[in-house]
Amino acid sequence: MEISPFLQKESPEPLYSQLYHWIKKEVEEGRLLPGMKMPSIRQLTTHLKVSRNTVVSAYEQLQSEGYLESVPKSGIWVAEIEKPSLYSIEKVQPIRSECKSSSEFLVNFEYGNVDLNKFPVKQWKKCLSDAVDQENNWLFEYSEKQGEFALRQEISTYLLHSRGVRCVPEQIVVTSGTQNSIALICRLLELQEKIVAMEEPGYSGVRSVFKDQGCCIEPVPLEKDGISIEHFETSSAKAAYVTPSHQFPFGMVLSISKRIQLLKWAYQTGGYIIEDDYDGEFRYRGQPIPSLKSLDEEEKVIYLGTFSKSFLPSVRLSYIVLPPSLMVQYSKKFADYNQSVSPIIQKAIALFMQSGEFEKHIRRMRKLYQRKHQALLKSIEQYMGTRVKIVGEKSGLHILLKLNNVSNSELIEEGLQKGVKVYSPVRFWLNPSSESNSYIMLGFGGLSIEEIDNGVQLLASCFP
Ligand SMILES: Cc1ncc(COP(=O)(O)O)c(C=O)c1O
């Protein structure tokens, strides 16, 4: 192990003492852990460009105080110490202490997971390996700033066929996640201190970025057919973030008349619509819903896509389709920004798309998620009956349940005891009300049909 203490040669404190204090603090604060091997005296002398005596004196002092121990023929090791309470690091509990860890749950309805059993591991590995094997050296360099051209080309073809979006690769910017896309858009549109309208409830992951970028969030209520358009008549928002194909988290589809009115609002006021089409691929009944962007004749919609649902969240790959009129500003403002997604991943996805595997994968997954979705609805009907109401359209990888006569916290608590974990969607409200606590959220993408049935049955047994 190498260590790099900051030693000040000009300081009145002798170097051996500085080194001693630095190591002591690292051990006490848990950055150097018991059982870690320290660099040898010779290695540290060379590395720090100090005299051998400096290192020997510091090590000797630390050994005599029990911070380090020397084992003959083995080396110098960090010793086990009783930590002073001042430095004891409180462990952050991801879930309440009486809860089981996620692997202990029989069924975890966590949102965000995708099905891994049917994931085409072999084909994906081949694309990764082919991406690295490309004889061109460019792959080992930085990516093109906007993203690999081959990938942007594939995305533009895919968007035309599957989401009705007409765009050229030059309009696409590859990003490392939707939050990254939003931060970029905030800077591009100069939204700091400006009003951004958002569905209420809406995706908190995006709302946090708007807030952190200094935007003022204007929550817009939802109606049966999506965001309230009436609200925009008096709004001075500069941008509106919406999830028209599958509202997050309620799941309704924005009606065609509201789409047209929302576009009109943008055209008349000069505002921008940020369309987050995060799971538009997974609609199980009726025609696929074309994107709002496909209706945008005056180029006021900024379209966001992600590979997190359609492929894997772990590739951290998303993209923005910018209206041509914003490309000049983009080039000026971001000329100095490097692309944050590895060109190897980008190339591998491009190969996966070129080979036809991506569309095949989506078709396969759509059928699979449809079966899971049907199984989930059937189990809910069978075990819960009128005690809940299913909220949302027939699409996506999650549903909400509206509870009758029980609060979500009671049900969540009771579920934890029985080994089934469900979630409160309350954080998706900017201004939660008591109504917000009458829902639970079930993500089902990563569960098998048996787990879904089992989980719903368990949860049903938790109702008072
Ligand atoms: C509304 C919404 N947008 C986008 C995403 C995906 O975000 P990312 O691209 O960062 O994985 C999610 C994922 O949960 C989501 O719920």
**CB-based burial of residue 328 (10 Å sphere; 0-12 exposed, 13-18 middle, 19+ buried)?**
exposed
CB atoms within 10 A of CB 48: 17
The confidence score (pLDDT) of residue 105 equals: 66
Please list, residue by residue across 189-226, b when 16 or more beta carbons sit within 10 angstroms of its beta carbon and e when fewer do: bebeebbbbbbbbbbbebbebbeebebebbbbebeebb
Does 195 fall in a domain?
yes
What's the rounded Cα separation, in Å, for the pair 155 and 172? 8
* Shared domain check, 281 and 400: no
What's the rounded Cα separation, in Å, for the pair 447 and 453? 10
Does 140 fall in a domain?
yes
* Shared domain check, 243 and 171: yes
Does 283 fall in a domain?
yes
Q: Is 210 in the pocket of ligand 1 (CB under 6 A)?
A: no
- Cα-only R_g, the chain: 27
Q: Which atom of ligand 1 is nearest to the CA of 316?
A: 11
What's the rounded Cα separation, in Å, for the pair 382 and 388? 11
User: Which of 297, 320, 355 marks a domain boundary?
Assistant: 355
Q: Which atom of ligand 1 is nearest to the CA of 308?
A: 11
Q: Is 346 in the pocket of ligand 1 (CB under 6 A)?
A: no
Q: Is 243 in the pocket of ligand 1 (CB under 6 A)?
A: yes
Three-state secondary structure call for residue 400: strand
pLDDT in tens, 237-295: 999 999 999 999 999 999 999 999 999 999 999 999 999 999 988 988 776 788 999 99
pTM attached to this predicted model: 0.82
Does 311 fall in a domain?
yes
The confidence score (pLDDT) of residue 103 equals: 52
User: Which of 340, 355, 370 marks a domain boundary?
Assistant: 355
pLDDT in tens, 56-76: 999 998 888 888 999 988 899
Q: Is 181 in the pocket of ligand 1 (CB under 6 A)?
A: no
* Shared domain check, 319 and 199: yes
Tell me the β-bridge partners of 174: 319
Domain count, the chain: 3
Does 94 fall in a domain?
no
Q: Is 228 in the pocket of ligand 1 (CB under 6 A)?
A: no
* Shared domain check, 261 and 248: yes
Does 376 fall in a domain?
yes
Q: Is 306 in the pocket of ligand 1 (CB under 6 A)?
A: yes
* Shared domain check, 392 and 281: no
Q: Is 245 in the pocket of ligand 1 (CB under 6 A)?
A: no
For the record, the structure tokens of 68 come out as 């380090």
Length, in residues, of the chain? 464
Tell me the β-bridge partners of 80: none
**Domain ranges, residue 29:** 15-87
CATH number, position 349: 3.40.640.10
Q: Is 54 in the pocket of ligand 1 (CB under 6 A)?
A: no
Does 10 fall in a domain?
no
pLDDT in tens, 380-425: 999 999 999 999 878 899 999 999 988 999 999 999 999 999 999 9
Q: For ligand 1, atom 13, name the residue with the nearest CA.
A: 112
Q: Is the pLDDT of residue 87 over 80?
A: no
Question: Which one of 203, 247, 340 would you pick to mutate in the ligand 1 pocket, going by the greatest count of ligand atoms within 8 A of its CB?
Answer: 203
**100: pLDDT confidence band, cut at 50, 70 and 90?**
very low
Tell me the β-bridge partners of 306: 318
What does the DSSP 8-state code read for residue 12? S
* Shared domain check, 338 and 400: no
Q: For ligand 1, atom 2, name the residue with the nearest CA.
A: 278
Q: Is the pLDDT of residue 318 over 50?
A: yes
CB atoms within 10 A of CB 415: 22
Helix (H) / strand (E) containing 303:
strand 301-306
User: Which of 328, 355, 382 marks a domain boundary?
Assistant: 355
Tell me the β-bridge partners of 107: 420
What's the rounded Cα separation, in Å, for the pair 72 and 369? 60
Q: Which atom of ligand 1 is nearest to the CA of 180?
A: 10
The confidence score (pLDDT) of residue 294 equals: 94
Percent of the chain with pLDDT over 70: 93
pLDDT in tens, 111-168: 988 998 889 999 999 999 999 887 666 667 888 999 999 999 999 999 999 999 999 9
